[in-house]
Amino acid sequence: MKVKALKLGYYGERRIREGQVFHLKPIKVIRRDKKNGDLKKVIIPVEDQFSSKWMWDLSKGENPPEFPDLEDDEKEDPVDAILNAHKKKREAKQKNQASNEDSTSNQEVI
């Protein structure tokens, strides 16, 4: 089965990078029989090796989805992101408090 890596992954003892095209092949392994303890040969089919989390099956003839790359200037610095979120939260809280004070001052005393 011919596949394309959608993100970094590992197949066998190889690191596969995003965009690399490679082939999944049946893998022969030796397993111990649980009943009698004998060793036996087991073949793992390519369908069991396929992971939709990071692989795209090219044998279907469909094109893999494209994920846009963000330019470095478009990425927000994590520290700035935290500070901006904190600032927005504080401003919303102050605005909410101000609107509550306005609503209580407008009420008539009976």
| Domain coordinates in residue numbering, the chain | 2-60, 76-105
| Global pTM value | 0.51
Determine the Cα–Cα distance for residues 93 and 33; give it in Å rounded to an integer.
Answer: 64
Quote the percentage of the chain above a pLDDT of 70.
79
Locus of tokens 């504080």: 90
Q: How big is the CA angle at 72 (ends 66 and 78), to the nearest 5 degrees?
A: 105
Q: Indicate if the pLDDT at residue 108 is higher than 70.
A: no
Mean pLDDT of all residues in 9-27: 92
Determine the Cα–Cα distance for residues 53 and 27; give it in Å rounded to an integer.
Answer: 20
How confident is the model over 36-66, as pLDDT tens digits? 989 999 999 999 999 989 999 998 777 776 6
Strands (E), the chain: 2-5, 9-11, 14-16, 21-23, 27-32, 39-44, 55-57
Looking at residue 74, what is its pLDDT?
A: 56
